[in-house]
Every structure is written in structure tokens, then in C-alpha cells.
Amino acid sequence: MAAMTTHEAFSSPSSRRWRYDVFLSFRGIDTRNNFTGHLYERLKEAGIKAFIDDSELGRGKAITEELIKAIEASKISVVVFSRRYGDSRWCLEELVEIMGCRKRLGQTVLPIFYDVDPTDVRKQTGTFGEAFDQKHQDKDPTKVKSWRHALTEAANLSGWDLRNTADGNEPKFIKMIVENIIGELPSTCLLSVARHPVGLNARLKYLTHHLRVESRDDICMIGILGMGGVGKTTLAKAIYNKFYNDFQGKVSFLENVRETAKQQKGLVGLQNQLLADTLKPTKPEVGSVARGKEIIKQSLQCIRVLIVLDDIDEENQLDALAGNCDWFGPGSRIVIISRDAHMLKRVTKDSLYLIQPMHKEEALELFSWHAFGSSYPKKGYHELSESVVTCCGCLPLALEVIGSFLFGKDETEWKCELEKLKRIPDDKIMQKLRVSYDGLSYSHRERDIFLDIACFFVGMDLNYVTQILDGCDFIAARGIRVLLDRCLITRSDENKLMMHDCLRDMGREIVRENFLDEPEKRSRLWHPKDVEEVLTETSATEKIEGLSTLNLVNSEVQKSFSTEAFTNMKRLRLLQLDYVNLTGDYKNLTKKKLRWLCWHGFPLVVIPREFDLQSLVILDLRYSKLTQVWNDHPQYFLEKLKILNLSHSHDLMQSPDFSRLPNLEQLILKDCKSLCEVHQSIGDLQRLSLVDLEDCKMLKCLPMSFHKLKSTLKDLNISGTNLAGSFLEMVSSRPSAADEIAIRPSFYELRELNLAYCNLTDDSIFVNFGGLNLDTLNLDGNGFRSLKNLSGLKVEMLCLSNCKNLRSITDLPTTLIDLYLHGCTSLEMAWLTGYRFW
């Protein structure tokens, strides 16, 4: 990222990126160890990024350049006027700069009058008058005039006077200030709700009344009930956004619980996310559902939280995440979204909100936004639009999908599609949604892309899925863009492909409908019963393009099938086998069209030579029993392979020979506990952009060829290993006065560098990082006592949490935005003047 000049960075206040939420201006000897110190702690607890100048050292006659930058980089300045504030030339210079930023940058200034009369500040009387009469009488008159003007201007702003607020109760006073500051700040953690939230406000107002968030004594569980596509999740996201600030960041939105719970670490993963969301920056890890329930109860029973559980369909999910009201502190609100009325009535008693379909006027407006890009139908289309709305039953999902499908079509096409909709019974919503699917292109494989996502890829990373679909000779980017435009899929804030349950079920029904009793003739198999039937009876036909087995990781009896079951699958492109044993000749599995093999728990110690994988784009064998990937090396080149993921293969001792994988882009060997060798051919790879060796504790060094990679890495993770020292020597040599900084070309494009928990000490952190241009450098959990020589490093986020021996930091990068110091118990904060830290 190119550096901006100060003018460029701050010339557009409405669009600029603030580094800090709040800058605190105060007189240290008056309030550092009481009011301002307490305020700062409450701001941090609320998740507000507050800057505090934590040092009395090095103060001269003028404030430092670093402090000026901190003021300019803050959205809000809070000025704590105390009795001796006016004595300090430093404070007065700070105030002049703050008031200047208010004019130039649109910064908000909030004055606090702590044990001082606002009139004394405004008119420079009382202790402020004494300061000017006794301490500043010999100062530059121009300077004195600017100080007086800044005091008058600041005191005229709306602020808080402790003596006349909250009955003088300081804790209540601080709480009120924090709540007001939260209201001034736009949250960066809000969820995307809807492009066109028609009718949402009325429903939100009704539900807000029943939530009674203003009540701090009770604990309330409320259920949101409704059919698929009626807008339950949209309403829940709006609730989350509305009350996010009221809970000071102690909030969690767990989306799509039903599907997530089916995944390998389903409920445990959801418990971990709930704890991470509400207890940040602390992130406790749970190993089992039972343990997770205990930790949630112990950790949250004294905390006021807002938790939203989206799409709960089984009681065990609810029991694992919010089993009882007494798990949470007074004032907590738990919102549960489900289609199961019986379950919701059991846990929410009378607090149950049934979402009704839209009124016809609302439905017409929502449809018009998607069909015409305006709040009402285009001239000549009003009657047609009303007919479509009637056919859609005023269901928001149907209105969005059909409206997006009709966008840009002429009147003749509208009438044709309307006739199709009219022939479908009113209660057959999925059939109405299918009209949009039928309009997808054959030639651009848009239908295939939709069906692949519906059957296999919901919830997966967009870039990962794009790689697979491109490997299938689809134009994935174009097809996905069409599906997004037509509201058939969505993309989450975490870049995951999402699909409404109704649309997913519709896609799966399209695959199933022509061969209801003959699963072996379908193009895609995903249902456990159907998969087991086809594999057991070895009845598969060449029509099968994709197959995903049930997850058998927790099964008491390991399933085993014959490889002969795959013999006739000539068109197989996508294969997902989770914890399944296959017996027989692996030649039966060799498919020229196979692009994605995801086999978690691969049961063999080596991939058989006869198992030809040369058409693969992605090979994912996480949690495998492999000790080595191939005996010697495969007889063929995997020229199309882009991603190799062998993570958590605890018996794997060596990586494959990369000379047979010439186009590899991502190598993921996380938590391969026995890995002791990475093949030297890694240096010859020309497309490698990501290497993840996290927690490969037996790996002592990287091959010499890694020093001269022919590719340019963008992401390197060697946290939890002993590789950091040798890697740092690769980056640059030990610095001396005469040395030039020379970063190897392999690392020019490195953006994410993770060296956490690598046992780095003062002796091993000598490297000069200058020349690197990173987004994130993670040095968490290391043992060095001082950190220096970072001034030439370009990085926005520096993570040093749990570096318990760290005492001093010098020469921090000028590009730094976030500095994480949680758990740095030995750190002398005096080193951090001018920087924001956590």
C-alpha cells in the first residue's frame, strides 16, 4: 500500500480511516491514577480504541510529533479539564492541536469538567486564571492568546460536568460517558442486513418493545419463528446491529447453527466462537461440548451479553450454547431463530415472535427495488408487478429472487415468466423460485455451478470454491457473479459462499426429482442414506459427477466400502470422503475428470502408486494416517494441483517431492507433529504463495532452497515451530552500521507473517525487518526482552500478546495502526508514547 501524505490522509474526513476511536487529553498529576485511568479502562472493556499518553517522561516545551499524529488519527478527542490542567503548557498545546483538528478534520471534541467549574475554563478564572497570571505571564503573547481561545472554544462545547451529573457518582459518571462515546462511534462490527430493508423497521420496533433492553435486572430469551424465506435472519441481524453498542461489545451472532453443527468440530466450534466474541481479546478453547457448557456458564454468568442463535433446529444445539438463563449475567438477551415452534415455546415461554409475510404494499416495494432498482414499478409494469407479487405470496426471499431474475427483461419476457408462475400452486414456493434457476445459462455452466454449491459448497471459502470450479472448466467468477446478482447465493463477511435453506433445498430437489428411487442415476449424491446405498450395492452409473459421504468421525463402527463402487463413475469431478475405509484396487478410483478430492481421515500410510490423481486441482487429506505421501514419488505429474492440504496428519514425517507438483500455490501442513523434513524441491516452485507449517514442532529447519524461492510468498505461517530463527536469517543478515538492507526477492510480496510462539529470544530476534511490507506481523508468545530495529518495517498490525519477558520496544514502524500487547506483563509502557496499544 502506497504511503499517503498528511494532506492526502486527512483531506476527506467523511471517508478517511481513523486509527483511534478516542484520544484522551488530561493533566497526569490530577487524574492519571483516578478518573482518567478508570475511564481509559472502561473504554478498553467496551472495545473502544483509546489513545492515552502513558508517560510523564521526555516532556519538553512542545508536544511531540508522535502525539500530534495521534490526535490527528483520532475520531474523538475527550478533554478532561481538571484544576491544574491550565498549569501545563503541554496540555494547552495539546488542546490547541485538538481544536485545530476539529476544524480541519471534522473531529468530535467532548469536554469533561472534573472538579472544576466550566465557567473557569471558559473565562480563564479561578485556578485557570491563576495559571495564566502566575505561570504563563512571560510566555509568547501569541501562544498565550491561542491557548485562551482554545480553552474558551472547548468550554463552549456540549460536555459533562461531574458536579452536576449522576449526583457526583464517579462510576456512574464514567459509565454514562462511555455509553455516549459508543453512540458517537459507527461500529465496525455490524452485520450486513439487506440491500433493501423494506418493512424491517416496523418489525424491529415491535420486537424491540418485547426485548426490553433497557431493563438490566432480568434475563430474557426470545424466539423468532417463521417459515423459510420470511426474513427471520434479516430481522435478527437488525436486532444485533441496533443493540450492539448497548452491550459494549459483549455480543455474539452465531449464524446458520443447523449446518455448522453438522461439521467436524460443529458444536465445539460454535462454543469457541461464542466465547471468543463475548470475552475478546481472551479466547478460551474448549475441547468437548460438555466442557464448553461449563466454561460458558462460568465465564458469562456475571456478564451482560447479547447472543443471537440463527437457525436452531435441535434441542442439543440450544443446550450446548444457551442451556439456561442462569448461564448469563443480569440484563442479558438471548435471541433464538428457528422453524420449530415446539422447541421455541419450551425455552422462551411467552416471548415468541411469529413473523408474518409482508403486506402487499411492502411486498410491491421490495420487488420493485430488485426488478427496477427503484421503490415502485416502472411505467407500464405496475399491473404485471402486482401479479408477480401475488404469485410470490409476499414472501421476501421469493420477491428478491424473482425480481432480480426479471431485472432488465422486456414486457414479453415478463408475461411469459408470469404465466409460468401462475401455473405453480401458491404453496409451492420452491417451484416458484425455480423459475430463476431455469433462467440460468447452459452455455456458461451457471446451472452446474448453482447445483454444485447447493450440494457441496455452502459455507466454504469463495476463493477455494472458485479454484475447484475453474478446475472443472467452468468460468467460475462469471457464474458466481450471476448467482450473486440474482440473489441465488450470498457472500458472508468472512468471504464464505452462503445460500438460503430454501434455495439449497430447491437445488438438491432439482438433482433428485428425475430419479427419486434411483440415486445411482443422479448427477450428485450428498444424502447419507443414498450414498451408503450406492456404495454398498456398487450400483453407481457414469451420470454421477459429485459424491459426498456422511461424516463418520464419531461413528462407533467405521464404514468400509469397496473401490469397485467407483468403477462406473466415469464423470466424477468432486469427491468428499470423511473417515471412510476403502478396500480393493485404487485404480478403480482413478478418474480423468476428478478435480477435488477431500478425504478427511485418509486411512492409508501412503497414497498407492496406482491411485492416479493427475487431474486434481485440490487435494485435501486432513487428519490422514499418512507417514509419507508417496513411496519415492508418483509416476505422474500433478500439473493441475494448486492446493495441497495435509494438516493434522500427525504421523507424516516428510513432505512430498514438489518437482511433481510444478504449479502448487498453497502448501498447508499445519499440526503435522512428526514432520521433520520439507523436500528441497520446494525452492523450484514458481507459483507458491502460501505456506502454513504451524505447530510442526519436529521440523528443525527449512531447506536451503527455501532461501531462493522462485515464487514470491504472500502468506507464511511458522508459528509454534523452531523455524523462526533460521527464517529471519533468510530475510536479512545481522545488521551493522555499514549494512544495506537486502530483502530476498522471494519475500517482496509477503503480507502475512506468523512467527507466534516460536521461542524467539533476544539472540534470535536480531534480524533487521526493514524492507518488508506486511499487513500483519504476529510475534505473540515469544521470549525476547526487547524489540528494536523495526523502523524500516512497513506493517499495519503488530501482535506481541503474551510476550511475558518483553520490557521495551523502540523504533516502531511509522505505518503501524494496531499494536496488540495483551499479557505483556513486564512491559514498561513508557516506551509506547505516541502509539495505540491493546
Residues classed as catalytic: 94
Residue 717 bridge partners (DSSP): 692, 754
Helix (H, G, I), strand (E, B) or coil at 666: strand
- The secondary structure of residue 654, as a DSSP letter, is B
Q: Which amino acid would we find at residue 26?
A: F
Phi, psi of 794 (to 5 degrees): -105, 110
Contact 790, 768 (CB under 8 A): no
Contact 522, 545 (CB under 8 A): no
Residue among 399, 393, 381 at smallest CA distance from 422 = 393
Q: At a CB cut-off of 8 Å and minimum separation 6, what does 573 contact? A: 472, 545, 546, 593, 594, 595, 596
Contact 392, 422 (CB under 8 A): no
Residue among 764, 759, 668 at smallest CA distance from 720 = 759
CA dihedral 681, 686, 690, 691 (to 10 degrees): 10
Residue 774 bridge partners (DSSP): 795
Q: What angle do CA 113, 119, 122 make, to 5 degrees?
A: 90
Phi, psi of 284 (to 5 degrees): -65, 145
Grid cell at residue 767:
534480524
Helix (H, G, I), strand (E, B) or coil at 337: strand
Grid cell at residue 119:
465557567
End-to-end Cα distance, the chain: 24
- The secondary structure of residue 461, as a DSSP letter, is B
Grid cell at residue 759:
521461542
Helix (H, G, I), strand (E, B) or coil at 309: strand
Contact 511, 447 (CB under 8 A): no
Contact 100, 72 (CB under 8 A): no
DSSP state letters, 414-438: HHHHHHHHHHS-TT-HHHHHHHHHH
Residue among 358, 368, 441 at smallest CA distance from 400 = 368
From CA 445, how far away is CA 464, in angstroms rounded? 18
Distances (CA, A) of 259 to 89, 263, 266, 465: 61, 7, 8, 18
- The secondary structure of residue 831, as a DSSP letter, is G
CA dihedral 645, 648, 654, 656 (to 10 degrees): -20
Contact 752, 714 (CB under 8 A): yes
From CA 695, how far away is CA 757, in angstroms rounded? 9
Q: Strand (E) positions, 82-237?
A: 108-113, 160-161, 220-225
Distances (CA, A) of 462 to 34, 328, 440, 457: 50, 35, 20, 9
Distances (CA, A) of 587 to 426, 443, 504, 573, 631: 50, 33, 34, 16, 16
Phi, psi of 266 (to 5 degrees): -45, -80
Q: How many helices (H) and strands (E) does the chain have?
A: 27, 29
3-state SS of 705-730 is HHHHCCCCCCEEECCCCCCHHHHHHH
